[in-house]
Amino acid sequence: MQHNTYDDDSHYSAITRSKSKIGDLIEIECHNKRNYVGTLMPRYQYTNYKNIIVKLHNGYNVGISTETIKTIKRVGKQTKISAQNHIDYLDSTLPRILLLSTGGTIASSLDYITGAVSPTFDGNEIKKLIPEISKFANIDTEVIFLESSENILHSHWKMIAEKIAANRNLQYVGIIISHGTDTMHYTSAYLSFALVGFRIPIVLVGSQRSLDRPSSDAATNLISAIRFIIEYKSQGVFVAMHEDENDNTVACHIGTRVRKNHTSKRGAFQTIGDKPAFLIHSDGHITKNSNEVFERKFHGAKINLDPHVALIKYYPGYNPKLLECIIDHNYKAIIFEGTGLGHVGNTLYTNIKKATSKNIFVGMTSQCINGIIQMNVYESGRKLIKLGVTPLNMTPETAVVKAMWALGNSDNIHEMQKLMLKNIAFEFK
C-alpha cells in the first residue's frame, strides 16, 4: 500500500531537485514563512497526491501541501524507517500465531491534509510497524480483505470463518483478527456461533487510534492479545481492547457479550452485564473474571447464515406500516429492541400476529444495556408472548447475528427457535 518514492509525480519536482529520498532529514520553507524540519515519510495509496508527509522531531507526522512549499533542502542522510526495513525471522523456540487482516482503524493511516483515516496496512505491515510482537511469537500474516468496519457484510463474516476453518490443522496456538471497532462485536458474535469449540483461541483486535499516530492503542491491544493466547490457551472467541484510557490493562471480552459503548475513547468496549472475562495487565499477569468453562468439543464449522433478519428499535410512534413492509418482503426473523423488560406498543400487535402466523420468528430484546428480559411482569409483555414473541436475554446485536446463523443452520422455524433459546456461545446475560 505504501509508495516509497515521490519522483513519479510532477507535484514533487522540488523533492526531486533536492535529491531527497524516503528517510532523509529535510528542511521545508513555505511561502507563508513557516519552516519544517523532519524526516521524509512514505505516502500511501489514499493520501492526497498534492502533499508530502514529514515526521517532526516530536514524533508527530504532518502533511504539507505542495502548493505552499517554496523550497525543499536535504539536510541529513537517509535513516532506516522500521516500517520499510524490518527483516522477518523465525525463532523455533516461539509459538506460531496467525494474524488475519480485515481493515479498520488498526490497519489505517491518517491523511494529514484531509484528516481522513483509511485502511492502508495489511497484516505484514502491521507486524513491521509493531516489531516487538516478534519477541512473543512467530506471526504469520494474511489479508482477507481491507474494509472499514461499516462496510463489512455477512458475506465477509463467512470469508473470515472459512479462512479460520481452513487453518484448523496447522500448528498455530491462536488466531488474531485485526478488525474495525464499529462492527467488531457483530463479527465476534457470528464467529462465536459458527466456530463453537474451535481448538485454539480466536481474538479480534482493533484500535481507536490509527497505527501512525503516537497515541495509537493498536500496539498495546495486539501485544496483549498475543500474550493472552500464549499464556492462557483458552478456547473461544474474544475481543481484546483497552479497559480504560490507560495502557495498564487490556480487557478480553467474550465475543457474544461485548459491545462498543463509546464512540472514541480507548476503553470503548464493555462486557454487558458482567466484568470482562479476562484482564491482561502490563506487568505480565492475567486475571480471569469469568466462571465460564470455555473448553468445548468442536463439531466442525457451521458457517451458513441467512441474512433475512430485521433489527427494529422500537420508539414511541413507530409506524406499524414499516413493520408490515418488512413482513411482506420475505424476512424470516424480526428482532425487536424493545423498552424496559421487553415491550413494544400495542399499535404493533396486529402486525406481530401477522408475522408469527406466517412462521416468521419474532424475538424480543431490550434497549437497556444491563438487566434481563422479563415479559411476564406486565400485561403488555404477557400479551406479546401470547402473540408468539420469544424473549431473548442477549444484546440486540448478538440476537440479530444469532438469528441469521440459526436460520442458516436449521430446516424450519421450530428448529431455529430451539437454537435461539439454547445458550450456545455464552450469549445469555
Q: Of the listed 128, 260, 332, 402, which one is catalytic?
A: 260
Residue of 182, 247, 275, 354 marked catalytic? 182
Question: Which H helix or E strand runs over 82?
Answer: helix 82-85
- Pairing label, strands 333-338, 309-313: parallel
3-state secondary structure of 91: coil
Read off the C-alpha cell for 246: 490507560
User: 249: closest CA among 278, 214, 209, 216?
Assistant: 278
Rounded to an integer, what distance in angstroms lies between the CA atom of residue 370 and that of residue 128? 40
Q: Is 105 a catalytic residue?
A: yes
The rounded distance, in Å, linking the Cα atoms of 354 and 114 is: 50
The partner residues of 3 in beta bridges, in order of sequence, read 43
Closest CA to 320 of 343, 351, 344: 351
Q: Does the annotation mark 181 as catalytic?
A: yes
Closest CA to 193 of 305, 331, 311, 334: 305
Which one of 39, 47, 66, 105 is the catalytic residue? 105
Query: Which residue out of 120, 181, 271, 398 is catalytically annotated?
Result: 181
Residue matched to cell numbers 463509546 = 262
Q: How many whole angstroms separate alpha carbon 390 and alpha carbon 342?
A: 10
Rounded to whole angstroms, how far apart are CA atoms 95 and 60? Answer: 34
User: Would you mind telling me the total number of residues written for the chain in this entry?
Assistant: 429
- Residue 260 falls in the annotated catalytic set: yes
347 is catalytic: no
**Three-state secondary structure readout of 341-405:** CCECCHHHHHHHHHHHHCCCEEEEEECCCCCCCCCCCCHHHHHHHHCCCEECCCCHHHHHHHHHH
Q: Which residues are catalytic?
A: 105, 181-182, 260
